[in-house]
Structure 1
Amino acid sequence: MYAPNTARDDELLQGVVSRLARSSAFPLVFGGLVSHSGIHVTALAGHRTMSLRDLHVVADRGLGGRALSELRPRIAVDYRTSSAITHDYDRQVLTEGVRTLLAVPVLVDGVVRSVLYAGRRSDESTGGVAVGPVVRAAQELGREFAARDATVRRSAGGVLPAGRPDGLDSMQLEELRSSFAELRSISSSVTDPELLDRLRHLEGRLAALAGAGAAGEAGGVGADAPDAEPVLLAPRETDVLGYVALGRTNRETAAALGLAESTVKSYLGTAMQKLGATTRHDAVVRARRRGLLP
């Protein structure tokens, strides 16, 4: 099975980190690649100490762990006193004198490949103008990862990147996944059995286009990963995971599906339990491997 070239990924990551430290509003930039065990920081620029070197961040912990789990950028304007994150990594981060810290996930086909951090040591305000270049750099890095993967796979025998169907680029695949989530949202309000059956058929076709196999009739049965136990998700659990896969928060998912935020949290919890996942991000990855999501 093909695996990313970690050395080459590290090289691409270090190049982006060094460039951002020179040209962005954040003098401290660092980042790491993501594995099953979390984020391993290897790329540094603008640092004054070595406290961040080889830092290991796990999902849901600290700012980077939240960005990893939620698949979206997170920022702590006053890092030291922020109540929105755990402070597992305060010693390493505060040793660098960080006041404001930004963490941006680098996505490849909807899966976090790396996390970029950008820090400021001053109290000056941080707005969209400052954050924008870091977010764009993360998007560009994701495209570079994807392009390199495709080249390596072709040279290894024409095998396409996992989860990406022939003929679709990353942006098209994300649009397909967004359409799948919206279609399931529409289906949830349909009571006519014949129309609902037609909508479920379309959902299966979209899932198949994404290389995930047909979704089950009740929104739950798909192709299992090798040696994995079959997983049956309830329709609403699949609906919630579909929006989580797009990086939506529980509140945003609740608004899209017309549910209470607590109900979304409950569905997500049961889906994670069925999939054996420990984080939102892990649940999406496991669902895709089983063909439950495109």
Structure 2
Amino acid sequence: MTSTLESEEQLVAGAVRELSRRTRFPVAFGGLVESGVVSVTTIVGNRTRSLDGLRVRPDRGLGGRAMTELRPRMTSNYRTSQQITHDYDMFVLGEGLRTLLAVPIVVAGRPRGVLYAGAWEESQIGGITTAPAMSVAQALSSELRIRDEVERRIASLSAPADLAPSHKEELRESFAELRSVAASVDDAELRERIAGVERRLLALTGDALPPLTSPIPTVHLSPRELDVLSCAALGSTNAEIAAQLGLREGTVKAYLGTAMSKLDASTRHSAVARARRANLLP
């Protein structure tokens, strides 16, 4: 198993524990789609081993229906429910679950997995339960989307050394997007992976501009200054940069001003050019 899959399983494990905590259902479990089937990788609160090995097809059972419809599905009496197929009764009823909630993990409009919360007794499930469950699933979906984007960017780094102008612009857009993605990530390991991709992007375009007649002294921009400048390099306005990075427009202006000062540039255009020559931007 690759480290990426292991990392995703850790995310699922954290989401399952959070689901149990926030919904106060005694049993929670879940997993991601692998080869067209959801393999349940994390189970908490169970009394038996009946849920072990559960693999759910996207069109079968309560979880399959949730993934097909891309919305939570629930039943307060699993055994007698006529709204679902009962392909997985040996697992669910083997654990003795009566109430069951299934919430799909949706990434880019497609089901990537499912989270379950259940109880041994019959209980009504309403918005007070589904709202926090959906919040947990959405948070997991966001993390998976970010990881997917990082993997896509890594896989795309096969451009030739002598880049065409259109390829250079694509790399610059990728760099700016990665900077904005990194700003929203709490996972230190993932941020370091993103930083590694950024370094590779810089290496691909480091010689794109001729040197100045007088070399630029070593410049150290803060992460936020670099975030703002990378967006400005694409022609974004202060308002657009603020929306993209989740900052106030005045804060963007301040970061841009300090970056320009450090680069000894009088305009944002010259600041971008100097940052590129200093190999701070692709």
Residue 120, structure 1, aligned to residue 119, structure 2: yes
> Could you say what secondary structure the match of 2:116 adopts?
strand
Kindly provide the CA deviation profile for residues 9-67 of structure 1, in whole angstroms up to 9, marking residues without a partner as x: 11100011012223323111100111343211111111111211221111321111111
| Structure 1 match to 2:22 | 23
Instruction: Please give the residue correspondences for 1:229-244 in structure 2 after superposition, counting only pairs within 5 Å.
Output: none
* Equivalent pairs, count: 162
Matching residue's letter, 1:64: G
Instruction: Report how far residue 6 of structure 1 moved.
Output: 1.8
Q: Deviations over 1:97-132 (max 9, x none)?
A: 211111111111011111111112222322110121
CA distance in 1, matches of 2:140, 2:118: 19
Report the residue type matching 2:152 in the other structure: R
Find the counterpart in structure 2 of residue 88 from structure 1. 87
The answer to whether residue 39 in structure 2 is matched with residue 40 in structure 1 is: yes
In the alignment, the residues of structure 2 paired with residue 61 and residue 154 of structure 1 have an alpha-carbon distance, to the nearest angstrom, of 34
Distance 1:168 1:38 in 2: 32
Contact 1:60 1:69 in 2 (8 A): yes
**3-state SS of 2:59 partner:** coil
Q: Equivalent residues in 2 for 1:196-211 (5 A)? A: none
Q: Is residue 131 from structure 1 mapped to residue 125 from structure 2 by the alignment?
A: no
Structure-1-length-normalised TM-score = 0.50
Structure 1: distance between partners of 2:150 and 2:57? 30
Amino acid at match of 1:94: L
* Separation in structure 1 between the aligned mates of residue 89 and residue 99 of structure 2, nearest angstrom: 12
Matches within 5 A, 1:263-274: none
Q: 1:151 to 1:91 in 2, by over 3 A?
A: same
Q: Is the 8 A contact 2:32 2:40 kept in 1?
A: yes
Would the aligned equivalents of 2:103 and 2:116 in 1 still touch at CA under 8 Å? yes
Gaps of 5+ in 1: 160-164, 170-294
Q: What is the rounded CA distance, in whole Å, between the counterparts of 1:168 and 1:75 in structure 2?
A: 38
Matched-pair contact (CA < 8 Å) for 2:18–2:136: no
Q: Over aligned residue pairs, what C-alpha RMSD do you find?
A: 2.5
The yes-or-no answer on 1:66 pairing with 2:73 is no
Do 2:72 and 2:130's aligned partners in 1 also have CA atoms closer than 8 Å?
no
The alpha-carbon deviation at position 76 of structure 1 amounts to 1.4
Provide structure 2 residue ranges, at least 5 long, that are not aligned to the other structure: 159-172, 179-282
Q: For residues 129 and 24 of structure 2, what CA distance do their matches in structure 1 show?
A: 6
**Shift in Å, 1:81:** 0.3
Identity of aligned residues (%): 46
| AA matched with 2:141 | G
Alignment of 1:189-228 (within 5 A): none
1:71/1:105 contact within 8 Å kept: yes
Normalised by the length of structure 2, the TM-score is 0.53
Q: Larger radius of gyration, structure 1 or 2?
A: 2
Flag the 1:4–1:111 CA change in 2: closer, same or farther, 3 A: farther
2:140 partner letter: L
Q: Is the 8 A contact 1:4 1:149 kept in 2?
A: no
